[in-house]
Each structure stands twice: as structure tokens, then as C-alpha cells.
Amino acid sequence: MDFSQWDEHLFGSPKLTDTPKVSICIITYNHEQYFEKCIENVLSQNINFEIEIIIGEDCSTDSTAKIVEKYALLYPEKIKAHIRPVNIGAKTNFLHCFFQCRGEFIVFIEADDYFTDKQKLQTQVDYLDANPNVSACFHNAQIIYEDDSNREPEFINLDSQKVLTETKDFFVEKETWFMATASVMMRRKYVEKLPDWFLNCKSGDIPLYVILAEKGPIAYINKVMSVYRKNINGQSYTDNVQSLDFIKNRIYMYSKLNDYTHLKYDYLLKPILAEYHLMAISCREIQPNFFKKIIYLLKAYLLAPPRNRKVLYSDIKTYILSPQIVNKYLNFRSKLNKYLGIHKT
């Protein structure tokens, strides 16, 4: 993966330390109301090591770029900012900055989230230094809902959260999510080279954590040290499930993860892949085409056969037979019964 073409977006003349212990990678787009809180809470950390902050500002349409410029000029010894004259997309923006990180450990945060504990970085560094067998560590975080749902804040991790997470824990069900992005600190040596297929995955979190977990367990620190904002600008999973492109990408991602892990978790991944094939049937691009619906149903059954005949009938009714077809069938049965003189009792 070569992202050097985006180096020309560098702003100013940063003078970073040659030996950062931790790299904080921040990507931002239209975060004018959030960015200052994010960066201030990074800069105010109580630490006994050197850090570098790599920022990717992706051609925001608000004043985010001006705010990034201000901080880059104030803290050239800590901040290296790329301010893009064109929008290159969240994934490319992230990877360009991510691969510029030189620290032993990397933390990635989107600029609408923020740290809440001034000891966060020190706590995680101390843990990783003391536990060389773990590939990364994460902590609990609070979700603040700013998406018009009127939901009260809540914590991501429950008391039952495992201390050590293994690869298989990410395959218990599809879309497994129990690690807030800003809560994770990872060893750079395990992610400084990523497989080519990673770039093609719409989701970066799950593949990245699986790659880490294959190198060693991911440890949980039972402290709340950051906030994850769920705001109205975020693209939700619910909004995407009607898109065939999204579903196909999830099938691609989990298939690649199956290959990457040498089919060790095939028994867990096949049912997940089957679920996505069934979900594809409900996509707007597939719904009008009866034969494509049959093809996706058969693919799902090749991956994970139905447990019994009752499940088979239920799936056919749910995924193949539209309400219109069912109504036509019921009307036909009613007329046939009437013609034959069959009356229900």
C-alpha cells in the first residue's frame, strides 16, 4: 500500500520528536464543533514519554481546517497535520495518516470522540509494557447519543467483558462490536503492513482487530477513559443493510478474514456469511428478481444448511415469497376450494 501521493498535503513545518513512544492518529471531516475538545484532551494527557499526533483533515466544508491549522502552528513539536485540498475519503485519509505513525504504540481517534481520563495514554502504555504477550489493549467508553434518538448515555462494555479477547470472539456473531475505536492502543509492529484486501473493506475496525488478535490476545482495562459520540452525521449499519454493495462488501470482508485465519474459524464464519447472503435477498436490487433471490438462498444454504424443514419453510416464506405472491396464492386457494365445494370448519 503506497499512499505517498498524499504527502504533499502536509501543512507547515512540523518538528516532531525522533523517538515517539505513542502515535495518536486523528482523522477529521466537518468536525468544527468537536475538534478542539478532541485535540485538547490529547494534549493535556499526563505522560512520561514522547508522543506525536498525526492529523488528516479531509477537505471539510466547515471551519475544521482552520482549527487544525491553528493547533499545528501552536504545537509543531507534537503535531503533523495534513490538510487536504480535495476530499480523498475516510478510509484513504485514515490509512495515509496511519502509515505515517512511528510510535511503538498507535491510538486512532476520530475527531468527534475524545479522551476523558488524563491518565489514559499512560495507563495503556504501562499495561502494554508490562504485558508483552498482548497485541493491544482497550478500555471501557461511554456512548453519548447525539442522533435524535433521545437515548441516555451508556457504557459500551458490561461487567461481563472478557479480560483477554481472542480472534474467535470477533466471530461470535456478525457486526460484533465491543471496542470503542478511541479506546484501543495497539502495537505498531503488528499493523505496519496490512494485506491488500484490507483497503477494499468498508469496515476497518473488525479486520484490524482480527489481524492484531492473531498476533496475541487483546486485553481489556476496566476503566472508562473516553467518549464515543453517536451523532446524526454517522452512517448507521441499519441504513446500509438495504444496499447490495454494502452486503457484498461484508461477504467479501468475512471471506477474506476466513482466508487470513487459514479457515481456523470456518465453523463460525460460514453461518455469518450465510446470514449476509440471506440479507442480500431483502436488498432493493434483488427484491424484484425472483431467480436472484433463489440463488442467494441456495448460496446461504450451501454455507449453513437449515436446521430442519420448519426453518426451510420459514426462510422460503420470509425471503422468497413476497406478500403479493402469498396473497395471490391464498386467493387462488380460496377460489379453488369454493369451486370444489371444500369448506373449512
Contact call for residues 26 and 54 (beta carbons, < 8 A): yes
Residue 245 in any domain: the answer is yes
| CATH code assigned at 13 | 3.90.550.10
Residue 316 belongs to some domain of the structure:
no
Do 301 and 171 reside in the same domain of the chain? no
Q: Return the number of other C-beta atoms located less than 10 Å from residue 292's C-beta.
A: 16
Of 234, 260, 290, the residue that ends a domain is: 234
pLDDT at 318: 78
Q: Which of 218, 234, 250 is the last residue of a domain?
A: 234
Same domain, yes or no, for 217 and 286? Answer: no
pLDDT at 336: 57
Provide the number of structural domains found in the chain: 2
pLDDT by residue, tens only, the chain of 345 residues: 789 999 999 999 999 999 999 999 999 999 999 999 999 999 999 999 999 999 999 999 999 999 999 999 999 999 999 999 999 999 999 999 999 999 999 999 999 999 999 999 999 999 999 999 999 999 999 999 987 778 899 999 999 999 999 999 999 999 989 999 999 999 999 999 999 999 999 988 999 999 999 999 999 999 999 999 987 655 444 456 678 999 999 999 999 999 999 999 999 999 999 999 999 998 888 888 888 988 999 999 999 988 787 877 787 877 777 555 545 445 655 655 666 665 554
Note whether 267 and 170 are same-domain residues.
no
Residues 59 and 205 occupy one common structural domain: yes
Helix H or strand E segment including 51: strand 51-57
Alpha-carbon gap, residue 92 to 58, rounded angstroms: 10
Give the largest CA-CA distance in the chain. 91
Residue 317 lies in a domain: no
**pLDDT at residue 330, rounded to an integer:** 52
- Please name the amino acid found at residue 236: S
What per-residue confidence (pLDDT) applies to 339?
60
Question: What per-residue confidence (pLDDT) applies to 237?
Answer: 45
What are the b/e assignments for 307-345, b being 16+ CB within 10 Å? eeeeeeeebeeebeeeeeeeeeeeeeeeeeeeeeeeeee
On whether residue 147 sits in a domain, the answer given is yes
Q: Verify that 88 and 116 share a domain, yes or no.
A: yes
Distance CA(258)–CA(251), nearest Å, equals 11
Q: Is 337 among the domain residues? A: no
201 and 256 fall within a common domain: no
Are 215 and 278 in a shared domain?
no
User: CA 267 to CA 304: how far, in whole Å?
Assistant: 9
Asked if residue 47 belongs to a domain, the reply is yes
Alpha helices in the chain (DSSP H): 35-43, 64-74, 90-98, 120-130, 205-213, 237-240, 244-260, 266-281, 290-303, 309-315, 323-340
Grid coordinates of 196: 491488500
State the cell numbers at 32: 468544527
Half-sphere exposure of 338 (CA within 13 A, CB side): 6
Contacts of 92 (CB under 8 A, 6+ apart): 3, 6
188, 299: one domain: no
User: Which residues fall within 8 angstroms of residue 326, CB to CB, at 6 or more apart?
Assistant: 317
Residue 81 CB partners (closer than 8 Å, separation 6+): 10, 11, 12, 14, 55, 57, 68, 69, 71, 72
Q: How many CA atoms lie within 13 A of 317 on its CB side?
A: 9
> The dihedral of CA 154, 155, 161, 165: what is its sign?
positive
**Range of the structural domain that residue 193 is part of:** 4-234
- Residue 291 domain-assigned (yes or no): yes
Say what the pLDDT of residue 343 is. 56
Task: Please report whether residue 152 resides in a domain.
Answer: yes
The answer to whether residues 157 and 43 belong to one domain is: yes
| Same domain as 252, residue 188 | no
Same domain, 11 and 129: yes
**Statement to judge: residues 244 and 130 lie in one domain:** no
Domain ends where: 234, 255, 281? 234
